[in-house]
């Protein structure tokens, strides 16, 4: 066990040989790991990690073998079946296995598939949730996914399905009409089609949209745009995945909640971006 990273007093679970812990590594910033994740890193014999897991996080498990199993759209990637069965083989070899996945393992992370495979093969598991980029990544950009003056619902969708295409099973008309705020994971590749579907379903061309790339890291970039101009604006800005996309009026709140730029000395752009004409505490 690596004891270089001390943990506060608590009855921490033990990662036993032959077990697999499926753990969320958060959206990027190593400080957003849970203490259960740090405890897992201290004990693992093998860490199988995704593309978005930061190198600093892996350095917290120097005693472990590190195996890359990232899947990135349009790039050579390990097959999901091979990843899942590799976990089975390592556990059967008596290893303490940590499957480290970006964000939360059960939010568009294929964690459910891997966990089910393990259970079907008789491998004991533990699930460690993580902060999803659709919440934490937007928060770092100063965008609340829920705000009482804006929305009473938020819908999380993926921008592509198992085939790599825009999910045909999504009813964009119902999503558009039923949710004031829409958060799209892995949507950059198909943003032209997605934006057209939302406009066709009745969303305004002028609806605010934010694109947050490499969220919570030092390379984070934020584009504030609209549904009607997003395709050209992404191209002009030269943005690349990974990205989280937020559609809805809550994007306007970044004008007053861009805490990173304010910490750097910039004043808020607009203290009342929703035009409510009253102090926030009177809401």
Our answer to whether residue 253 is catalytic in this structure is no
Active site residue: 95, 101, 186, 253, which one? 186
- Encode 64-84: b = buried (16+ Cβ within 10 Å), e = exposed: bebbebbeeeeeeeeeeeebb
198 vs 205: CA distance, rounded Å: 9
202 vs 82: CA distance, rounded Å: 42
Active site residue: 29, 50, 104, 258, which one? 50
Active site residue: 71, 149, 189, 262, which one? 71
Tens-digit pLDDT profile for the chain (283 aa)? Answer: 887 778 999 999 999 999 999 999 999 999 999 999 999 999 999 999 999 899 999 999 999 999 999 866 555 677 889 999 999 999 999 999 999 999 999 999 899 999 999 999 999 999 999 999 999 999 999 999 999 999 999 999 998 765 566 667 899 999 999 999 999 999 999 999 999 999 999 999 999 999 999 999 999 999 999 999 999 999 999 999 999 999 999 999 999 999 999 999 999 999 999 999 988 887 6
Do 186 and 240 contact (CB within 8 A), yes or no?
no
User: Where does residue 175 rank: exposed (0-12), middle (13-18), buried (19+ CB within 10 A)?
Assistant: middle
Our answer to whether residue 186 is catalytic in this structure is yes
Strand-by-strand arrangement of the 221-226 sheet = 154-158, 181-185, 243-247, 208-213, 221-226
Q: Which residues contact 64 (CB under 8 A, 6 or more apart)?
A: 2, 41, 44, 45, 46, 47, 98
* pTM (2 d.p.): 0.93
Residue (of 220, 226, 204, 15) closest to 138 by Cα position = 220
Our answer to whether residue 71 is catalytic in this structure is yes
Backbone angles phi, psi at 135, to 5 degrees: -110, -60
26 vs 52: CA distance, rounded Å: 9
Strands (E), the chain: 20-24, 46-49, 65-68, 97-101, 125-128, 154-158, 181-185, 208-213, 221-226, 243-247
- Cα angle vertex 263, ends 262, 266, to 5°? 35
């Amino acid at each position: 066990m690596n004891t270089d990273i001390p943990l506060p007093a608590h009855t921490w679970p033990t990662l036993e040989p032959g077990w697999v812990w499926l753990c969320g590594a958060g959206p990027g910033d190593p400080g957003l790991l849970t203490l259960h994740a740090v405890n897992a890193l201290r004990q693992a014999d093998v860490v199988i990690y995704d593309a978005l897991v930061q190198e600093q996080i892996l350095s917290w498990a120097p005693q472990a073998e590190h195996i890359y199993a990232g899947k990135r759209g349009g790039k050579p990637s390990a097959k999901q079946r091979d990843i899942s069965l590799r976990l089975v083989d390592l556990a059967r070899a008596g290893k303490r296995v940590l499957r480290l996945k970006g964000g939360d393992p059960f939010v568009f992370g294929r964690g459910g598939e891997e966990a089910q495979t393990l259970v079907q093969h008789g491998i004991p598991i533990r699930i460690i949730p993580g902060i999803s980029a659709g919440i934490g990544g937007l928060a770092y950009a100063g965008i609340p996914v829920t705000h009482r003056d804006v929305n009473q619902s938020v819908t999380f969708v993926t921008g592509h399905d198992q085939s790599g295409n825009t999910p045909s099973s999504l009813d964009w008309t119902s999503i558009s009409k039923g949710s004031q705020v829409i958060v799209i994971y892995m949507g950059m590749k198909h943003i032209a089609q997605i934006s057209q579907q939302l406009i066709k379903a009745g969303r305004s061309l002028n609806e605010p949209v934010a694109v947050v790339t490499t969220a919570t890291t030092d390379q984070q970039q934020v584009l504030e745009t609209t549904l009607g101009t997003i395709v050209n604006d992404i191209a002009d800005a030269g943005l690349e995945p990974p990205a989280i996309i937020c559609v809805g009026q809550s994007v306007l709140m970044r004008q007053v909640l861009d805490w990173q730029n304010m910490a750097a000395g910039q004043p808020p752009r607009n203290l009342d971006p929703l035009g409510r004409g009253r102090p926030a505490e009177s809401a």
